[in-house]
Homo-oligomer: A and B are copies of this chain.
């Protein structure tokens, strides 16, 4: 695999960052992950907008313009001949001194890597079992408004879920309210309404989440953003996770109990796949 690192394309096996890169030292950076379809990163503009918002907040300069990143990403996809894949864009504060101060760290690192799509059996599209994590996200966490490179909490939540035989972890915030999964946003169907959690309570404003809300509007499905406790999800029908890498993933079991399916989820997933195809053309 060829990767992009600070202006150069090079084989992954030769791609190294300095030991004193603050991304490595302190998780002092950001990333974006997105689906690539038909050679195009899906909703790249929205991902770069979120990256840029995060970079402003962190005071990291993005060393390329959105146009340049788009062009470089296209070259990366071309060089790897992977028109259907997953793209990861990474931005860190670059090399710095020991300690937390950002003073003097002004040479950011920008990297992009491409990854094969997980193999999917079309007869058995991915479905997840979810378990509630013992880890909590701070309610109102500003770090949850963009994808930071300090993701140990998510790593541990996922590992705990896998240890318990599940696919993914449902994370609550410190108020005990449903926030998100380790790697995605949650939706559920209630009284024929498509419900999700409002952002700003430890919830990442996911790009796929936004696409699903667009789809609901287009299909005339009523939506509802509401704060809920996990016990209210126990009787949910049509529970699903949205994720930029995998799209829409139905949840078939939650904390060991089966989740009732909903035909609305199939309609949304179908519409989502159509949009990805249309925009890749």
Which A residues fall within an 8 A CB radius of B? 3, 5, 12, 15-29, 31, 33, 57-59, 86, 88, 90, 92, 97-103, 111, 113, 115, 135-143, 148-159, 162, 174, 182-183, 245
Contacts and interface: CB of A to CB of B under 8 A. Distances in A.
Contacts of A3: 19
Contacts of A153: 143, 150
Contacts of A101: 158-159, 162
6 contacts: A24-B149, A25-B31, A26-B151, A28-B151, A33-B98, A136-B140
A279 to B, nearest CB: 22
A182 B100 contact: yes
Given A100-B151, A111-B19, A92 B24 contact: yes
Contacts of A22: 155
Nearest to A162: B101
Contacts of A141: 136
Contacts of A15: 18-20
A157 B142 CA distance: 12
Number of copies of chain A assembled together = 2
Given A12-B20, A25-B149, A102-B159, 17 more contacts: A12-B19, A15-B18, A16-B17, A17-B19, A24-B24, A25-B90, A26-B151, A27-B149, A33-B98, A58-B156, A98-B115, A98-B245, A100-B182, A148-B152, A149-B150, A150-B150, A150-B152
A172 to B, nearest CB: 11
A279 B16 CA distance: 39
A44 to B, nearest CB: 17
Nearest to A157: B100
Contacts of A156: 57-58, 143
A183 B27 contact: no
Contacts of A27: 26-27, 149-152
The 7 A-B residue pairs whose C-beta atoms are closest, nearest first, are: A27-B27, A16-B16, A150-B150, A150-B152, A100-B158, A15-B19, A26-B151
Nearest to A137: B138
Contact of A174 (B98, B135, B159, B174): B174
Nearest to A105: B155
B152 A149 contact: yes
A151 B151 CA distance: 9
B98 A88 contact: yes
A100 B150 contact: no
A26 to B, nearest CB: 4
Contacts of A24: 17, 21, 23-24, 90, 92, 149
